[in-house]
Structure 1
Amino acid sequence: MKDLSNTQFFQVGQGPQIQARDILEIVYKALREKGYNPVNQMVGYIMSGDPTYITSHNGARSLVMKMERDELVEEMLKAYIEHNGWE
């Protein structure tokens, strides 16, 4: 029988961290699959913070809420800058 007088320790290891780029891709694809304009819907979400702009299809809504909106904007801006060769 175990000694019940000592406190047991339980540690949860962190799972793999999903990147903003991956979240944006998943959300974009989910919005397209459901027939929405992904740019309009994502702008609506980023500007308002209202997650109902994002479909729950394929877990996109819960996924997008795991990251701060400013981090999503930062990732989009970095991709835009890279795409235009400004760096």
Structure 2
Amino acid sequence: MGNDQNTMQFDIPKNKKDLTRTILTQVNDSLKEKGYNPINQLVGYLISGDPTYITNYNGARALVRKLERDEILEEVLKAYLSIK
């Protein structure tokens, strides 16, 4: 018998956390490369929802818009507070 009898698990929270981290790291790097302060720019975006706080360089603006702002804040707070 093949592996089609085994149940596969898909861990959405872990994958979401990894995706958020990957995207924020790429956006951070793009903002730095363009000479912006990444923290200030990301805070501006998170507070206002205005994507123009994020550079288009390397597709950073499109990347960050793949995530919901509340999900970004949730992951940032979890990391800050070391909640797993």
Give the structure-2-normalised TM-score.
Answer: 0.74
- Within a 5 Å distance, the mapping from 1:6-85 to structure 2 comes to 19-82=19-82
| Alignment deviations for residues 22-62 of structure 1 (CA, whole Å, 9 cap, x no partner) | 11111111100100000000000000000000001111000
Structure with greater helix percent:
2
CA RMSD of superposed structures (Å): 2.1
Give the structure-1-normalised TM-score.
Answer: 0.72
Over alpha carbons, which structure has the higher Rg? 1
Amino acid aligned to 2:39: V
Question: 5+ unaligned residues in a row in structure 2: which ranges?
Answer: 1-14
Task: Give aligned-pair identity as a percent.
Answer: 59
Aligned length: 69
Shift of 1:75: 1.2
Structure 1 runs (4+) deviating above 4 angstroms are none
Distance of 2:62 and 2:31 partners within structure 1: 13
